[in-house]
Amino acid sequence: GANLQEETIRVRQLLEAAQIEFELEGDAELHHTPPLVENVLSMSLKEAVTNVVKHSKATICRIIIQQSPKETKITVEDNGTGVSKERDVTQGHGLQGMKERLEFVNGSLEVYSSKENGTTLHIEVPNVIQ
């Protein structure tokens, strides 16, 4: 979806259906972000939460949205099993596709994962298209 606020409503429903507690921190209404970048962020959020539902066995998923005139950041955290093996990250197309789309708008994706703390995705994009 194109709009991040609408996407947060959809992911809330997705997580609710999967009985995963949802926490949203920050303003999902983006004030500085160009539509193309917002579109990439919305798709990234959707894929991140779909992964939480499909793979994590988490009980909590927290989304943190931070925006400044310069850049937009989204963190998606779960308290699940973590990505089981290093090669797992390159197995599907979801994370790879997300990374490529983010890089296309000069953004970045970082994945942190452990058995103890679950998985955290850091998504960061500048608001100005170079």
Judged by CB under 6 A, the stretch of 5-13, 64-72, 93-101, 102-110 that binds ligand ATP is 93-101
91 binds ligand ATP (CB under 6 A): yes
CB 128, min distance to ligand ATP, A: 28
Taking CB within 5 to 8 Å according to partner kind, which of Mg ion, ligand ATP, none is near residue 89? ligand ATP
88 binds ligand ATP (CB under 6 A): yes
Cα pseudo-dihedral 57, 63, 64, 65, rounded to 10: 150
For residue 63, give the nearest of 122, 2, 117 by alpha carbon: 122
54 binds ligand ATP (CB under 6 A): yes
56 binds ligand ATP (CB under 6 A): yes
Of 69 and 97, which CB lies nearer to ligand ATP in the complex structure? Answer: 97
Taking CB within 5 to 8 Å according to partner kind, which of ligand ATP, Mg ion, none is near residue 106? none
Q: Which positions touch ligand ATP (CB under 6 A)?
A: 51-52, 54-56, 78, 80-83, 88-89, 91-96, 119
